Amino acid sequence: MRRSARTFWLFVGPFVAGLLVFTYVPIGWSTYLSFFDAHNTVAPTDFVGLANYVDVLTDGEFLGSVSTFTVFAAFIIPTTTALALALALLVNRIRFARTFFRSVFFLPFACSYVVASLVWKMSLFSGVDSGVVNTVFGWFGGEPQAWIGTVDPPLYWVVLVTVRLWLQLGFYMILFIAALQRIPGNLYEAAWIDGASPRQAFRHITLPGLRGTLIAVLTLNLINAYQAFDEFYNILGDSRGYPPFARPPLVYLYYTSLGSGGQDLGRGSAGAVVLALVIALVTLLTGRVFRRSQ
């Protein structure tokens, strides 16, 4: 038993140490900073209680970013989930080169968000006539568009949504494929013998078999939607010239805590705690809803 325990901690110890040092300690210290006036310091002495939380919860830009990204999450989560499931069903039915297609669709997930954002910004949706998207529009008689600089209508959302879909679909597709392969094939054979249509087999066999994975995908999607940062920061920059709600919460907190106008780490930490509570609450509600539907 001692040898097993040593082996266990040999493999798990580095992960636990990293989790403590890089996750739980920063969370605890951020919570501590949220109760202090921490301008340009991580070792404050001026205790202000809940003043930072009051400032954050009465800040129209922060509340606007949270509410806007709740709508963004309500759109991007079902869209990503549905497309990933459709890709998984399609790839899982392929009889040849299945590994190749899995790799092709999964490869974008290994790409850096920063690199993908810059490609979308400077090549695909560059806004010039020679940009890839504007060139394709020109083939069909369309007019070139300034995708990132156009605020009314907000065409920049097309750029942001497409790059996020391209980056994430492959990962969730792999999760769905793994779940599809765990569904016993004799269930489908029995359904076909009984005369069930493909739609009925999907509704009564596939979806129930994917319930656990579906909940996991929706939860991960939800967390990723509220934690959006890289693509917004690299495509929109500091969002000047855009409506305040074009900033996701993390970009707002970044400029609050590390912006050139004053590093208010106390207020930024309070906003981070509020955002974490919002994510946790929405995640718990989502899980409860799906558990009740089982």
pLDDT per position as a tens digit, 118-128: 888 888 888 77
Cα(111)–Cα(113) distance, integer angstroms: 6
Q: At what angle do helices 60-93 and 98-106 cross, to 10 degrees?
A: 170
Whether 66 has a pLDDT exceeding 60, the answer reads yes
**CA 253, CA 275: separation in Å to the nearest integer?**
10
Kindly state whether residue 84 falls inside one of the protein's structural domains: yes
- Whether 199 is in a domain gets the answer yes
**Rounded Cα distance, 29 and 51, in Å:** 17
- What is this structure's pTM? 0.81
70/282 Cα distance (integer angstroms): 10
- Asked if pLDDT for residue 245 goes beyond 60, the answer is no
Q: How far apart are CA 200 and CA 29, in angstroms?
A: 53
User: Which tokens is 152 given?
Assistant: 């009314």
Crossing angle for the helix pair 60-93 and 265-292, nearest 10 degrees?
A: 40
Tell me if 109 is assigned to some domain: no
- Looking at residue 70, the DSSP 8-state letter turns out to be H
Q: Is 211 within the bounds of a domain?
A: yes
pLDDT at 261: 59
Q: Is residue 30 domain-resident?
A: no
Q: Which residue has the higher pLDDT, 257 or 270?
A: 270
Domain span at residue 261? 49-95+169-292
Rounded to whole angstroms, the Cα distance separating 86 from 31 reads 41
In a domain, 55, yes or no: yes
- Predicted confidence (pLDDT) at residue 22 exceeds the cutoff of 60: yes
Specify the length of the chain in residues: 294
- Give residue 128's pLDDT: 74
CATH number (domain holding residue 56): 1.10.3720.10
Task: Quote the CA–CA distance of 136 and 143 in Å, as a whole number.
Answer: 10
Instruction: Assess if residue 242 is contained within a domain.
Output: yes
Compute the distance between CA of residue 192 and CA of residue 178 in angstroms, rounded to an integer: 23
The residue written with tokens 């309070």 in the block is 270
Give 82's pLDDT tier (boundaries 50, 70, 90).
very high
Number of CB atoms found within 10 A of residue 141's CB: 6
| ∠ CA 241-247-250, rounded to 5° | 145
Beta carbons of 228 and 69 less than 8 angstroms apart: yes
Q: Are 65 and 244 in contact (CB under 8 A)?
A: yes
Residue 147 in domain: no
Nearest to 154 by CA among 25, 77, 243: 243
State the total domains in the chain: 1
Q: State the pLDDT at residue 3.
A: 80
Q: If you average pLDDT over every residue of the chain, what do you get? A: 84
